[in-house]
Structure 1
């Protein structure tokens, strides 16, 4: 399965989501930006998306509070990073309030996205991940796999636009 991400103004992104209500498209927003995420086995409806392969996944992304850790990984570090992540994923699924997660492998570029979805911001802030969502927690001792520093972005997921 692939995940496609595009961004734009809230009104334009909401219009795209509404026009393609038969597709698995989710709208995420914060004060700075609005994103659309399209998960599909087929082609995307987006014109110029960022494309990711779903490397690891659980749950459904439909409502809640989303946190994305952006992890730039060196080409030669990809196998190590993916192995270390798989080892940590089983522990992650035990977090209270976590409803979904995705590790998205970039098709072009070097930045993996680690997307977690929580019942609400409080569930995230009370999780062990909230204070440890950084490269040390995800990559472990082998920081040399990173191409650049990691960073986190947070979003509300808008289920329906009425």
Structure 2
């Protein structure tokens, strides 16, 4: 399965469901920017966008909630190690209140993986960040430098799901 995303204006992107009625699009907003994500076995419909292979999937995405994307640049020779360590790591995120979905997305081009999690609310995500499970999974507080296979520091983007019916 593949995951596809692109950015654009809401006015332009909101036409996608009419043009591609068989696809289930997820619309999300970060300040003034709108992002659309969908999953499919077929080739991307986006002229310019990002394509990923979904290599780990938990839960079902919903049209509401709060989405966090941890963007992790990984060196080519470290991709297998990164994926293996991620899959072996005890996440326990799925047991947290408000957790809805997780996707580990391998880039088809470039080096930036995306760990996407969806939460019922931003408060649920903040509670996860304060949890013992989060601290254990991220070894918070131990000034460990990033693994050598990280090309750069990971960065986080967060979004609120958009209900097109409300706009």
Q: How many residues align?
A: 160
For 1:44 and 1:133, the matched residues in 2 are separated by 34
User: Is 1:14–1:161's contact at 8 Å kept on the other side of the alignment?
Assistant: no
1:73 aligns with 2:74: yes
Once the two structures are superposed, the pairs formed by residues 108-127 of structure 1 within 5 Å of their partners are: 108-127=109-128
Task: Give ranges in structure 2 of 5+ residues lacking alignment.
Answer: none
Task: Give ranges in structure 1 of 5+ residues lacking alignment.
Answer: none
For 2:159 and 2:49, the matched residues in 1 are separated by 19
Deviations 1:65-120 (A, max 9, x none): 00000000011111111111112254222222110000000000000000000001
Instruction: Name the structure 1 match of 2:42.
Output: 42
Q: Superposition RMSD on alpha carbons, in Å?
A: 2.6
Once the two structures are superposed, the pairs formed by residues 1-162 of structure 1 within 5 Å of their partners are: 1-62=1-62, 63-88=64-89, 90-128=91-129, 137=138, 143-162=147-166
**105-114 or 14-23, which moves further after superposition?**
14-23
Report the TM-score when normalising by structure 1.
0.87
User: Is 1:69–1:133's contact at 8 Å kept on the other side of the alignment?
Assistant: no
For 1:125 and 1:112, the matched residues in 2 are separated by 22
User: Is 1:26–1:159's contact at 8 Å kept on the other side of the alignment?
Assistant: no
If each structure's helix is expressed as a fraction of its own residues, which one has the higher value?
A: 1
Report the TM-score when normalising by structure 2.
0.84
Task: Give 4+ residue runs of structure 1 displaced > 4 Å after superposition.
Answer: 129-134
SS at match of 2:56: strand
Pick the structure with greater CA Rg. Answer: 2
